[in-house]
Amino acid sequence: MSNKSRVCVLGAGGAIGSQLVRHLLSKGYQVTTVVRRLSSAVRIGRYDINIVQADLLECSTEKLVDILDDHCALIDCTYSTDSDYDTRISQSTHLANLICDAAEKANVERLIHLGTISVYPVNAGDVSEETICIPRGDAYADAKLAAEKVMLSRPTKIRSVVVLQLPVVYGPFMMWTTAPVQQMLGATYTMPDDLRGRCTPIYVDDVATAVALALEINKTGAEKILLSGPEALNWGDFYREFSKLSEDLKLNFVSRDQLNKLVEQGERQARPLNALKEKFSNDGDFRQLVLAQFGIRTVYRWLKRRRGQEGMDVIKARIANQIDTPSDLAVRLISQHTIHTYDTMPAIRSDKASRLLGFNAEISFADGVKQCGDWLRWARILK
């Protein structure tokens, strides 16, 4: 088989990388994958591919060159996950330089890096590839921006470098699939009815299609290309579509004033418990007292007097997860951080993917969510 069909995927064990491997194989490519740990290869182990274990943060340029030998293209799905801001920026820059160095020395013709819409400024409104990006203090966004800058400026010997900037990506194993479902499971997820940001969700299979098209791009040099799904939605519609998957998914919209009142009410209710937790964690003598049998028995007798034996049986059953808590009593409030994220998500205004790649997302949001539902039931996240 010609090296024109040999592709290496870095970070192939991830949710996007694993779906990408499947798609490339269906297109006739011969695929080599690099995973940080062999346990990460669980999603791709069934395929007829070459799996290489390597921690790129500890990998030499020479080792990566050996891995890339006789490959026509390299697809980079990696990113740093370090919790420290400065370390994350440093690692992302190091990884990008390592990948560029190795790709040039191995005579790789095409380099595709998966970027993100998160690099664009918050409250920017509509964005395109011409929108100026600067660090904004967010570790994930700034680390991805650092990597993109290296990818777009460093390589000189690689025929084509494409940075595909991804919006909200959903599909099997994806965070944007599991997060909204888990937020609505077991409680009524309550969020404001006037979230201002926009989302253009793209199904993971459409991302794989765009990557395959980027492998065939005729244009030389470095390009960054924004991808988007077929529809621009508000966040309420995003959650509503997922809530249709099951009667167990509960969703409620309230005004911001109502939400603030619910938050204040929850904080008031939590104060005694939080004070108890703080005393328990800081006062060794108090902790020993609570843990003593006398303290446990006193609480049990007090609860039994108030609830009776039937009430105690219900409490014990709930602790053992033998019965469900009535849904009308369970409310889960959206966090302020999530509200800020959704409020500041920009809309994508670009036809560059269509012009340069001939790419247009084909899977509608409704159809994509239905496919997510099949996977969620297979994974036993939903009944």
Domains and CATH numbers, the chain: 3-166 (3.40.50.720)
Look at the alpha carbons of 147, 150, 153, 159 in this order and tell me if their dihedral is positive or negative: negative
Residues 238-249: tens digit of each pLDDT: 999 999 999 999
Residues 141-172: tens digit of each pLDDT: 999 999 999 999 987 789 999 999 999 999 99
- Enter the pTM of the model: 0.82
What is the mean pLDDT of the segment spanning 270-292? Answer: 59
Taking a C-beta distance cutoff of 8 angstroms, is the pair 96, 154 a contact?
Answer: yes
Task: Indicate the residue type of 204.
Answer: V
Please determine, for residue 178, whether its predicted confidence score (pLDDT) is greater than 90.
yes
| Angle, CA of 253, 259 and 260, to the nearest 5° | 165
Higher pLDDT pick, 251 / 310: 251
Least confident of 178-182, 306-310, 354-358: 306-310
Taking a C-beta distance cutoff of 8 angstroms, is the pair 143, 89 a contact?
Answer: yes
| pLDDT given at position 297 | 63
Please determine, for residue 345, whether its predicted confidence score (pLDDT) is greater than 50.
yes
Higher pLDDT pick, 263 / 291: 263
Angstrom distance (rounded) from CA 152 to CA 113: 10
Task: Give percent of the chain above pLDDT 90.
Answer: 66
Look-up of token digits 């940001």:
197
Angstrom distance (rounded) from CA 270 to CA 267: 5
Residues 27-79: tens digit of each pLDDT: 999 999 999 888 888 888 898 899 999 999 999 999 999 999 999 999 999 98
| pLDDT given at position 268 | 74
What is the mean pLDDT of the segment spanning 115-132? Answer: 88
The SS3 of residue 135 is coil
Please determine, for residue 296, whether its predicted confidence score (pLDDT) is greater than 90.
no
Angstrom distance (rounded) from CA 286 to CA 45: 52
Smallest CA-to-CA distance from 71 within 11, 16, 164, 2 is with: 2
Pairing of strands 188-192, 331-333: parallel
| pLDDT given at position 2 | 47
Mark out the alpha helices in 250-360 (DSSP H runs). 256-282, 284-291, 293-319, 336-343, 352
Pairing of strands 233-234, 198-199: antiparallel
Taking a C-beta distance cutoff of 8 angstroms, is the pair 333, 266 a contact?
Answer: yes
What is the mean pLDDT of the segment spanning 166-179? Answer: 95
| pLDDT given at position 1 | 39
Average per-residue pLDDT for the chain: 87
Please determine, for residue 212, whether its predicted confidence score (pLDDT) is greater than 90.
yes
Q: Where are the beta strands (DSSP E) in 23-96?
A: 30-35, 50-53, 73-76
Residues 6+ apart with CB under 8 A from 323: 314, 317
| pLDDT given at position 123 | 72
Least confident of 237-241, 284-288, 342-346: 284-288
Quick count: other Cβ atoms within 10 Å of Cβ 282? 9
